[in-house]
Each structure stands twice: as structure tokens, then as C-alpha cells.
Amino acid sequence: MRDDAHSQRGDVKRTDGKAVSRVSVVDESPPRPGPPEGAADEEYRWHSYAVHPSGRPDAVRFVDTYKSFGRSHVLRGLNMALPEGMVSMILGPSGTGKSVCIKHMVGLLYPDSGDVLVHGRSVPDMPDDELFEMRKKFGLLFQDGALFGSMNLFDNVAFPLRQHTEKGDDEIEEIVMRRLNEVGLGDSRTRMPNELSGGMRKRAGFARALVLEPDILLFDEPDSGLDPVRTALLGELILEIHREMIEEAKRKQREHLPTFCVVTHDIMSARRVADYINVLWKGRIVEAGPAEEMLGSENPFIRQFLSGESQGPLTMD
């Protein structure tokens, strides 16, 4: 499963001195990749690049992806995978490029170099028509909900159904109300987005991302702006919906199992919800693997981050 996850960019110099992995979990580890151009190896010393196998095919995979905005280098040789049929988390300090990652998966941003594969197909290489078709596999909850300001809540959630399915009004009504009730917004169906609180907008965006029952669901910080109880409930809801969708997919013998990817800062929900964890920092994965293994990781950076302590390698700068 971890074949080319460690593959190396040809033009990046290797520092053979560091080839010995500092983490012992993975023993036949391939040579350690060098730092990206213009960065000191020191900056990447916590990056063990260890990827613990998930035993599943990848729904989404980043291969040596580089992306810069002007002088800010956001993705710097990212190799990351979201295993199919799992709830994956992308964890990382604020501003490391988690939202940028998500936008690459759905083709809203294109990498400067490297590749992004969705079910094995390269997103940057797709022609427009195919890209729009491919995007129907995705449901995406934006960081701020991104509801359509000109429509009320009900129409917002019904929008994808009306555009992409031939379902009748009754059926749409039923699906939409079920989703709205799930996120606790059944009573607000006629309200406009600007009359909602940030957290409510987010939950409505969540409902909208779900209605088409996509293969891959991406949540960009579903829990920021929610109170702790709602955050916990939302975590449970995510798990429950994932279970439901997996059963459904198995019953219908779908080609791909539903894959969820949650971007978050909230360690508690990560612990509760995640099957698989990717820790992103400085444009690369520090370490990735199934949740149990990550939570038991010996890497001081991972330990600090997953326990949310102020003591450790990660500082304010």
C-alpha cells in the first residue's frame, strides 16, 4: 500500500546521513527524502515520513505535489493518501495548507508540479467536462458553509438534487427534510443564510454536502464555530452517516466505498472519529497511519500535536 508514498523528486538532493528512520515502527523504510528546495533539513527533522499501512486502496492520493502562491510555498512535495472506505483526518497547525489540499482534490486549484489522483485518475489532467463529471463524486463542506445567499435553507440543500437528479418534488422534500433534521435545522427551512449563525450555516452546508450521497465527502473544519456539545454530536453524526453509507454501498455493490475526510484542529474529535490520520506540517506529511498507531506514535511532534500540549517541537513561529 505504501509503494510510492516515499518516492522522491528527482531534482531534490538526498541527504544520506539522515537516511536512518528515527521511528522504528516501519523497518524496511526507503531512503528518507531530502527537504524541499530552499529549506533546511533542520526544519523537517520531525518529519519521519512514516506511513503506516491502512490495508485499503486509496480514494485520493497526492504524489509529490508542489503548490506556491507567489512567495508562500504551501505544498512542498506532499505525498498523502486517503484510504477508501475510511474516515480520514487531516490534522495540522493553522495555515499549513489543509484547505488548499482539499481544493486540489476537487480541481479548484491545480498543483505547480506533481499529481493528484482520485480513484486512480489524475485530476489536473482532466478535460473540463470530465472534471465536472468527476466532481459529482464529491461532497464538500466549505470552511464557512458557502451557502447560496440568494436562496433559503431548503432550496440550498435541495439545489444539488434539482440540478443533478430527476427526482420529483415530493422525494426531494423528503430527502432534504431528513438531512436538515439530522443536523437539527428542520425548523429553519425557510430562513435565508444571512439570518443564520455561523454554526448553523456550517450545519446546513453539511446537509447540502450529503444530499447526493457522494463517494468522497470532504469536511473543512466542520467543528469550528460549534459549541462543544454540538461538536461531539457532529462527530457522532459523521460516524453514523459513514456507517449508513458504507452499508448502503455494500448493498448496492458500488464500485467504491464511501470515503470521508475531515480537516480539523479539534484533537478530541480526531480521537473520537478518525480511522486514519494524516499530520500535515510545512507542506508535507509528518506521519500518517491508522488512528491507533498514530495515537501511540513516538514522534515528539505527533505526540505534542495529538495531545494539544504547549510543550514540544511546535512553537508559535
Ligand X SMILES: Nc1ncnc2c1ncn2[C@@H]1O[C@H](COP(=O)(O)OP(=O)(O)OP(=O)(O)O)[C@@H](O)[C@H]1O
Site residues (vs other proteins, CB under 8 A) = 103, 106, 108, 128, 132-133, 135-136, 138, 140, 142-144, 146-150, 159-160, 163-164
Site residues (CB under 6 A) for ligand X, limited to 128-157: 143
Stretch that binds ligand X, among 49-57, 58-66, 93-101, 293-301 (CB under 6 A): 93-101
Contact partner at residue 304 from Mg ion, ligand X, other proteins, none, CB < 5 to 8 Å by partner kind: none
136 contact choice in other proteins, ligand X, Mg ion, none (CB below 5 to 8 Å, kind-dependent): other proteins
Among 15, 21, 99, 152, binds ligand X (CB under 6 A): 99
The residues, any chain, with a CB within 8 Å of residue 44's CB and separated by 6 or more, are 35, 282, 284
Residue 272 interacts with, from ligand X, other proteins, Mg ion, none (CB under 5-8 Å by kind): none
Site residue total, Mg ion (CB under 5 A): 1
Beta strands 87-91; 276-281: pairing state: parallel
Cell of 317: 513561529
**Residues 41-70, mask of contacts with ligand X (x by CB under 6 A):** ----------------------------x-
C-alpha cell at 217: 465527502
Options 8-16, 97-105, 117-125, 251-259: segment touching ligand X (CB under 6 A): 97-105
Of 8 and 99, the one with the shorter C-beta distance to Mg ion is 99
Q: Using the rule CB under 6 A, is 98 a contact of ligand X?
A: yes
Angle formed at CA 269 by CA 266 and CA 272, multiple of 5 degrees: 150
Binders of Mg ion among 78-117, rule CB under 5 A? 99
What three-state secondary structure class fits 224?
A: coil
For residue 127, the number of C-alpha atoms closer than 13 Å in the C-beta half-sphere is 1
Q: How far apart are CA 235 and CA 270, in angstroms?
A: 9
Closest CA to 119 of 206, 28, 58: 58
Sign, CA torsion 22/25/31/36: negative
Among candidate residues 1, 45, 37, 35, the one with its CA nearest the CA of residue 15: 35
Binding site for Mg ion (CB under 5 A): 99
Binding site for ligand X (CB under 6 A): 69, 72, 74, 92, 94-100, 143
